[in-house]
Structure 1
């Protein structure tokens, strides 16, 4: 029996170069493409529009730029099926980072519009991911 949360395989952007990434995650640098795919801007908008599952006060910076320009504060977004960090949209938009084709098709199937999840939906996802229970 696997001890990974059910969303573990549907987590985007855990790049090894990022402080909030995974050491065994994919390489952000290796994912850079010379130009955006046909849906690049719509994917970035989708990523920015996902429901916020968790937010921190931690600022994230562009690890690929020489001056490490600030991006935003770190948030965890979801559309109820996939999870990603808030800085992913920046890397998709600026560096055209390649994403999982299954996710891209998922976003296309939703016409690049993530559902706005209810508070109850977000609590259920939180319980599943983190094993917390809210009363």
Structure 2
């Protein structure tokens, strides 16, 4: 793959992830309007804003295994390296999601719920990419 195609693929992943995150945020905002943790008081008004930067970091983490350069020549070594990179992304986003689920249980707010769900969906997308890379076995 050329650098231009990798850049285009990464930008498409980031764009699609951000659109999906905005849709999830809108759905959660509509569904949790009357929930107890959504009652806006002065201390929780800032907590329920859309966490665009963290969502952007999740989408960038999804593109890192593709964007990081591998070996200079296509080789079987790239295959194992790509598998391990996607595995690290999946593990990292699962831990991220688990952290925000625990945080949501202890102190419920819309931002924590969104980040827990977005982390789960990002790890699922990373797992799908891991399966695609695994299906492209060189042997």
TM-score, normalised on structure 1? 0.27
Which one has the bigger strand percentage?
Answer: 1
TM-score, normalised on structure 2? 0.26
Bigger radius of gyration among the two: 2
